[in-house]
A and B are shown apart, each in its own frame.
Chain A
Amino acid sequence: MTTSRDHTVTKRPASDAVGRGTASPSSWGFGDGQAIPWEYAPAPESREIVKLQSRYGLFVGGKEIAPRSGQWFTTLDPATEEPLAEVARAGVEDVENAVAVARRAFRRSWGELPGRERAKYLFRIARILQERSREFAVLETLDTGKPIKESRDVDIPLVAAHFWYYAGWADKLDYAFPGRTAQPLGVAAQVIPWNFPLLMLAWKIAPALAAGNTVVLKPASSTPLSALLFADVCRQADLPPGVVNIVTGPGEIGLALVKHPDVDKVAFTGSTAVGKQIGRAIAGSGKALTLELGGKAANIVFDDAPLDQAIEGIVNGIFFNQGEVCCAGSRLLVQESIAEPLVEKLKDRLATLRVGDPLDKNTDVGAINNAAQLAKIEELIEAGVAEGAELYQPACDLPERGYWVRPTLFTNVAQSHRIAQEEIFGPVLSVLTFRTPDEAVEKANNTPYGLSAGVWTEKGSRILKMVKELRAGVVWANTFNRFDPTSPFGGYKESGFGREGGLHGLLAYVRLEDR
């Protein structure tokens, strides 16, 4: 297949440090950069702290068990394509066993425990996650390809924070909903994606447990390891067996799990297509459902925006986690009057991004998570070129092995282009222009998705007006990609329904009854 490498602006000579960006911004005044001995070290975080097992069973009933299916699969490091470990491939009987175990735990232990005691288990989990933060960060980077800088500074702290926050709700449910008592639903089936494996686990498990439910969680097949290490945290915290169960396997197993008749609640984060599949599968069953699906967010920049900070927000919006983010700011809507200087600054900034070894602390953009996703991104990049958009990629060498895409910018994009409509889920930004706030709103809303949006302007009243008009579940003003366990997150329209985080995040896991 043709790769995006064929479209790069220039072909740079290979350098000794793999994946190091060698381009320089045009504002620096030279095409190649003056020869000064200024180089960033490979500053690799050591792998030593992670003790990988060669094989991981399922985590059911507080123990690691072999799958009744007898099958296993391999999980790879996407930066090197090397195998990391073998993981159990659950079959339908494994799913049935896990649900039965979760039900027993709900009936006999967790469901009977006063909130005060549930809280203390969750506080323990939060503390242990903080203590083992480096171990989890390195493991997450190995399994996903995301830069260690991000897993260490964003993912893992947020994971601990989510358990921390929801721990404090476990004993206060009487105060969460005025005049109502909150009862748990029972057994929750939770299927999560590969882009933020441990964080998505935290978003699902923390509120579920706080509210008194037990869970069976299926991590994505390309990223099972941090969930399996989390099982060890549950053991260290002496969490009653069966409260948390981790069942690994492919997509079909997730479907089998959500369809199981003894599941009370289904929570899914992933693509809109699979979300719809799940909705169809449980239609009429009476199960509670929340979905957090895809997006094609507009990042709207007005001419009075603080430009250099807007650049940071745009760059973070589409290159954080290689753009493999449901709420990524994948469409830049820039006011036509400043489009040119903004795009110029943006191209310069792209040239300073370092693509390479995710374990290197200097890396800004890591590897694409899996081969299938890489193929999809490349296909859409080619589509963009074919549609007539103008492509820019800063020149940088990519490693020989692994799944990589250079930061990519398309200008002269029209609303009707595929690259403006379809979720790419990669480091590809489409730039469109607008003239008035109304036009910006119209273009931003003109999509079946509605997860997030960004607004950049100095004017407070305009921020609030845009906020009011934008059909998106999360609006970031003069910032982007900010998350907090207290702050509800979720989409409008085909980006899903239900909210995670905050008081609203509890709603998904309770049944409200009169006092």
Chain B
Amino acid sequence: MARPTRAVAKSAPQAAEAPERVAVRKTYKIYIGGGFPRSESGRSYVVRAADGTPLANAVRGSRKDVRDAVRAARAAFPSWDARTAMNRGQVLYRVAELLEGRRDQFEAEVGQAEGLSAGEARAQVDRAIDRWVWYAGWADKISQVLGTVNPVAASYFDFTIPEATGVVGVVAPEGSSLLGLVSRLAPVLVGGNTAVVVASESRPLPAVTLSEVLATSDVPGGVVNLITGLRKELVPPLAAHMDVNAIDAWGVPAEMVAAVEEAAIENVKRVARAPRGGGERIDWLDDRAAQRPEWIAAFLEMKTVWHPIGV
């Protein structure tokens, strides 16, 4: 299986040349509860570059992996949600620090997966890191923009505050292997939710590398869980799971959307739908189109409180 390697100089005479060093190839696993288990199903599938070159075997996750991931996300939710907003923001900012440190690896993987030039890949990674920073900075501000004090017509102090909804299933965009994923995952985490992500089916490798970054950051285990595999096997159990509070459906293929929404309504999940024309049409590089605080709000519940005013 081909790997991104340095081009070997073929011009030099063969006689005194040392043999090329054999690389230690990475195994791409799924990320659940802060660790990297193999799928209980033991299956994998071949992931190819944009030009068809085989890149790696990725885990072909199963419904049981989805089940385990949801369990991990649920267990991690109370303490992630209980952190101060500032703390969550700092934890997420640190992820950006680590992304920056591994940018070369991401540029190579994204470039290969999507068939991009070096400059295009760099632009994608730049924007992914900056987008992550953008969302991290919302953690201690979103409630100031969404929350309100309501001037009710009686002697009550009345206020509305946003709270995290809980476990959010994210179906990552199929085409944009890093930037699209970051654009959909970051807003989920900012508000205090935990996530179960179904990675892009054809381009999952940058997502797995992102998991490695998360695992070595201060993000607690279980806050983000990421499963690779086939959409048709992973999305339905996620959409139907009764302990998932919301679904980000931007990456759901058009032909699956109706079934997903039907399954989701069984426990009245909040569904964030892709814009008209589908999630794949978005220009992820366009900040105005691709990063908005309402996508944080999509996974927040509004709580309104009343208290009398009087001696």
Contacts and interface: CB of A to CB of B under 8 A. Distances in A.
A437 interface: yes
Contacts of B307: 460-461, 464
B217 interface: no
Interface in A167-207: 167-169, 171-172, 175-176
Given A119-B137, A161-B86, A169-B137, A465 B130 contact: no
Interface in B241-258: none
A164 B90 CA distance: 8
A123 B311 CA distance: 45
Interface in B57-103: 85-86, 89-90, 93
A255 interface: no
A130 to B, nearest CB: 9
Contacts of A176: 145
B310 interface: yes
Interface in A455-490: 460-462, 464-465, 468, 485-486
A461 B145 contact: no
A349 interface: no
A464 B85 CA distance: 25
Contact of A123 (B133, B138, B140, B141): B133
Contacts of B141: 165, 168-169, 172, 486, 503
Which residue among A176, A461, A503 has the maximum number of chain B CB atoms within 10 Å of its CB? A461
A168 B144 contact: no
B309 A465 contact: yes
Interface residues of A, number: 25
B137 A116 contact: no
A139 B308 CA distance: 47
A465 B140 contact: no
A279 interface: no
Contacts of B137: 119, 167-169, 171-172
Given A123-B93, A164-B90, A503-B141, A171 B311 contact: no
Contacts of A161: 86
A116 B138 CA distance: 13
B284 to A, nearest CB: 15
Contacts of B130: 116, 120
A464 B136 contact: no
B45 interface: no
Interface string B116-145: 000000000000001001101111110011
Interface in A479-507: 485-486, 502-503
Interface in A439-464: 460-462, 464
Contact of B311 (A165, A167, A462): A462
Nearest to B136: A168
Interface in A7-47: none
B293 interface: yes
Contacts of A461: 307-311
Contacts of B85: 486
Nearest to A166: B137
Contacts of B309: 461, 464-465, 468
Contact of A172 (B86, B89, B138): B138
Contacts of B93: 123
B134 A175 contact: no
Contacts of A175: 145, 293
B310 to A, nearest CB: 5
A464 B138 contact: no
A460 B157 CA distance: 10
A253 B83 CA distance: 45
A477 to B, nearest CB: 12
Contacts of B310: 461-462, 464-465
A468 B140 CA distance: 26
A277 B65 CA distance: 69
Contacts of B138: 168, 172
Contacts of A503: 141, 144-145
Contacts of A486: 85-86, 140-141, 144
A120 B293 contact: no
Given A165-B86, A464-B157, A120 B133 contact: yes
Given A123-B93, A464-B307, A486-B140, A116 B293 contact: no
Nearest to B156: A464
A176 B144 CA distance: 9
B89 A164 contact: yes
Nearest to A165: B140
A116 B141 CA distance: 16
A237 B181 CA distance: 30
A167 to B, nearest CB: 6
Interface in B274-311: 287, 293, 307-311
A505 to B, nearest CB: 11
Contacts of B308: 460-461, 464
A123 B144 CA distance: 20
Contact of A168 (B140, B157, B311): B140
Nearest to A468: B309
Contacts of A485: 140
Contacts of A171: 133-134, 137
Contacts of B139: 168
Contacts of A169: 137, 141
B140 A119 contact: no
Interface in A108-131: 116, 119-120, 123
A290 to B, nearest CB: 19
Contact of B89 (A168, A437, A464, A468): A168
A437 B293 contact: no
B187 to A, nearest CB: 13
A502 B86 CA distance: 13
Contacts of B287: 116
Contacts of A120: 130, 133
Interface string B137-167: 1111100110000000000010000000000
A119 B311 contact: no
A437 B141 CA distance: 35
B123 to A, nearest CB: 14
Nearest to B129: A120
Contacts of B144: 486, 502-503
Contacts of A460: 307-308
Contacts of B157: 464
A470 to B, nearest CB: 13
Nearest to A437: B311
A485 B144 CA distance: 12
10 contacts: A116-B133, A119-B134, A161-B86, A167-B137, A168-B137, A171-B134, A437-B311, A461-B307, A461-B309, A465-B309
Given A460-B308, A461-B309, 12 more contacts: A116-B287, A119-B133, A119-B137, A120-B130, A168-B136, A168-B140, A175-B145, A461-B308, A461-B310, A485-B140, A486-B140, A502-B144
Interchain residue pairs A-B with the least CB separation, the first 10:
A168-B137, A464-B309, A461-B308, A461-B310, A437-B311, A464-B157, A503-B144, A465-B309, A462-B311, A465-B311
